């Protein structure tokens, strides 16, 4: 199964997005950039967290995220 990045942001934002997706039955996974995980900060993209979903659920996940941003 191929996974695709549906969101990238700060750790707390990514965890909220993951929780939203999980609550709607969309499998998701967090991918941490190593420096941010070790030191707990983000600078110029270092430390960003990516939320990944199965490629076949990407459109559904993206739509759900957009609906909750309004």
Residue 36 has pLDDT above 60, yes or no: no
Per mean pLDDT, which range of 5-19, 22-36, 38-52 is the poorest? 38-52
What is the dotted CATH code of the domain comprising 3-69? 3.30.70.1530
Residue 33 confidence class, pLDDT cut points 50, 70, 90: confident
pTM here is 0.81
Q: What is the pLDDT of residues 2-28, one digit of tens each?
A: 999 999 998 899 999 999 999 999 999
Residue 51 confidence class, pLDDT cut points 50, 70, 90: very high
Of 23, 48, 44, 18, which Cα lies nearest the Cα of 33? 48
pLDDT reported for residue 60:
98
DSSP string, 7-51: EEE-HHHHHHHHHHHHHTT---EEEE-HHHHHH---BTTBT-EEE
- Give me the residue spans of the domains in the chain: 3-69
């Amino acid at each position: 199964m191929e996974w695709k990045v549906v969101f990238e942001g700060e750790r707390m934002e990514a965890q909220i997005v993951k929780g939203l997706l999980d609550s709607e039955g969309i499998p998701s996974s967090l991918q941490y950039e190593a420096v941010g995980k070790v030191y707990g900060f983000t600078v110029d993209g270092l430390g960003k967290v990516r939320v990944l979903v199965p490629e076949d659920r990407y459109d559904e996940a993206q739509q759900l995220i957009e609906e909750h941003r309004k």
